[in-house]
Structure 1
Amino acid sequence: MDDRDLLARVQAVIGREQTLDDCAVLPLGGEYLVATTDMLHETTDFPRGMTPWQMGWMAVAVTISDIAAMGADPRAVLLAIGLDDAERLLPIMEGAHDCCRAFGAELAGGDLDAHTELTIVSSGIGTVSPEHLVRRRGARPGDVVAVTGRLGEAQAALAGYDHLTLRLLEPQPRVAAGRALGRAGATAMMDISDGLALSLYDLQAAGGYGFAVDTRRLPLPAGVPEKEGCEFALYGGGDFELLFTCPEDILPVPGVEAVVVGRVIEEPRVLADGAVLERRGYQHRWSGEG
């Protein structure tokens, strides 16, 4: 059982619409407020060798990336820290503050507690005008499928390609790209921190239509053999890039480095090079059914 299996239980309580996007969407005057939260544990989410500063940066980056995927501007982040060692607090806070400052948000408060394992919960809010909000649903047959940046570089770093270490330890949310794509007319969007394959299945579940991807077009990690790089690009987590669909004629979008990798299709399937793409990537799993 994985986190997406458990999502069905959550939907039974709060409804399917509340679980489809990277953020909750709430009307606020003439704008939308988008809100999201993420929990990171040291043994599960922080790669070995990370500094406390990098842990603070990453905790905020995952939240800001969700806001970026809605086409929104990040405004504020709250940080709750379950702390195992008091000496780690200051550099964690400095990393979190530096990430907020880099992407235009305010580190506005939070909570502290004592834990046996370092645990950081980052909650963020952003704002976006209704006409520029981009959800996971909205893709239409004939739209192109595109991604920002190079895929698989964080996974490649985990596999020992040390020249890509910073891509893993200091991820860069695509705030400017998300904002520009929302204003240009992207029809669907999400971040791909769990891998491209799972993200395509998430978009398909949200919008109903399918996708046909050409793996020869994937922007592979630099300095990695092609076959291995394709595996990392399809199934590796931690990239913080954006997956989006749009009419082909809006590309290129000024200021956005993006590569078209496929098209939206009528059939509710996810295909790679004409065959069904394996549904796997980075997921949390539970062994029991209780």
Structure 2
Amino acid sequence: MDERGLHRLIGTIIAPERLEDDCAIIPCGDLLMVASTDMLHETTDFPAGMTDWQVGWMAVAVTLSDVASMGAAPGQVLLAVGLDRPERLAGIMVGARDCCAAAGAELVGGDLDAHRELTLVSTGLGTVAPEHLVRRRGARPGDVIAVTGPLGEAQAALVGYDRHRKELLEPQPRTKEGEILGRAGVSAMMDISDGLALSLYDLLAVNDCGFSVDTGRLPLPAGVPEDEARELALYGGGDFELLFSAPPDVLPVPGVEAHVIGEVIPERVVLADGEPLERRGYLHEWTG
């Protein structure tokens, strides 16, 4: 069983449409509030060699990436720290604060207790006008498919291409780009932290159309042989770029570096170079 299978169980307990997006959506006066929470564990989520500052940065970045995917302006972040050693706290908190500051958010509180394994839970809030909210649902045949930056860089670092280590350890949430794209009128959007292929299947699950990508148009990690780079771009996790669809006349969008990689098609399939794309990427799994 993988995490997306367990999402279906949760959908029998709370409204399943609540699970369709990167964030929960909550009315907030004339605006909408979006809220996301992420749990990270040292052994499964923090690559070896990370500094405490980078740990704090990453914990915030993953949550603000979700806020960005909704077209929302980042607001506040809460950070709960299950701390294994007290001397780590200062570095973690400074990293979290610095990521907030870089993204235009504010670290406003959280929780602290003792854990055997370092565990961080970040909760991010943002706001957006209803007309600028972007959800995963909304893609239409004829839209283009695009991403905001190179894919596969984090995975490239994990397999030994050290030139991409900064992208792995200090991911950049695309908060500015997400807000601009929401105002520009893109039709659907999500972040691709679990890899491009899985993200396309996530979009397929909530849209009445399909997605066809041209692997020759993927923005690839530099310094990696082309065939390997294409594999990393399709299936590697940890990039935190935005994947979106939009009517062709929306692009280019000033202030956003967008790479068109394909188009939305009427058939409910995911294709790469005209063939079915394998559904795999970064997934939490349970066995037994």
TM range (shorter): over 0.9
Question: What is the CA distance between 1:209 and its match in structure 2?
Answer: 1.2
Distance 1:257 1:206 in 2: 26
Structure 1 position 84 matched with structure 2 position 84: yes
Q: CA RMSD in A?
A: 0.5
Structure 2 counterpart of 1:123, one-letter code: T
Which residue matches 1:232? 232
The 10-residue stretch of structure 1 (75-84 or 202-211) with the greater mean CA deviation from structure 2: 202-211
Distance 1:260 1:168 in 2: 23
Which residue matches 2:44? 44
Which residue matches 2:208? 208
Which residue matches 2:191? 191
Distance 2:47 2:143 in 1: 37
Q: How does 1:90-129 map to 2 (within 5 A)?
A: 90-129=90-129
Structure 1 position 265 matched with structure 2 position 265: yes
Deviations 1:133-185 (CA, angstroms, capped at 9, x unpaired): 00000000000000111000000000110011000000000011111110111
| Gap runs ≥5 in structure 1 | none
Which residue matches 2:75? 75
Distance 2:206 2:63 in 1: 20
Deviations 1:54-97 (CA, angstroms, capped at 9, x unpaired): 00000000000000000001100000000000000000000000
Question: What is the CA distance between 1:206 and its match in structure 2?
Answer: 1.4
Q: How does 1:131-150 map to 2 (within 5 A)?
A: 131-150=131-150
Which residue matches 1:3? 3
Distance 1:73 1:180 in 2: 9
Which residue matches 1:287? 287
Question: What is the CA distance between 1:208 and its match in structure 2?
Answer: 2.5
Deviations 1:103-146 (CA, angstroms, capped at 9, x unpaired): 11110100001000000000010000011100000000000000
Structure 2 counterpart of 1:178, one-letter code: G
Distance 2:47 2:207 in 1: 33
Identity %: 70
Structure 2 counterpart of 1:246, one-letter code: A
Q: SS state of the match for residue 14, structure 1? A: coil
| Gap runs ≥5 in structure 2 | none
Q: SS state of the match for residue 127, structure 1? A: strand
* TM-score, with structure 2 as normaliser: 0.99
Distance 1:49 1:25 in 2: 36
Question: What is the CA distance between 1:238 and its match in structure 2?
Answer: 0.3
Deviations 1:229-253 (CA, angstroms, capped at 9, x unpaired): 0000000000010000000011100
Deviations 1:8-35 (CA, angstroms, capped at 9, x unpaired): 0000000211000000001111100000
* TM-score, with structure 1 as normaliser: 0.99
Question: What is the CA distance between 1:46 and its match in structure 2?
Answer: 0.2
Runs of 4+ displaced beyond 4 Å: none
Q: SS state of the match for residue 11, structure 2? A: helix
Structure 1 counterpart of 2:65, one-letter code: S
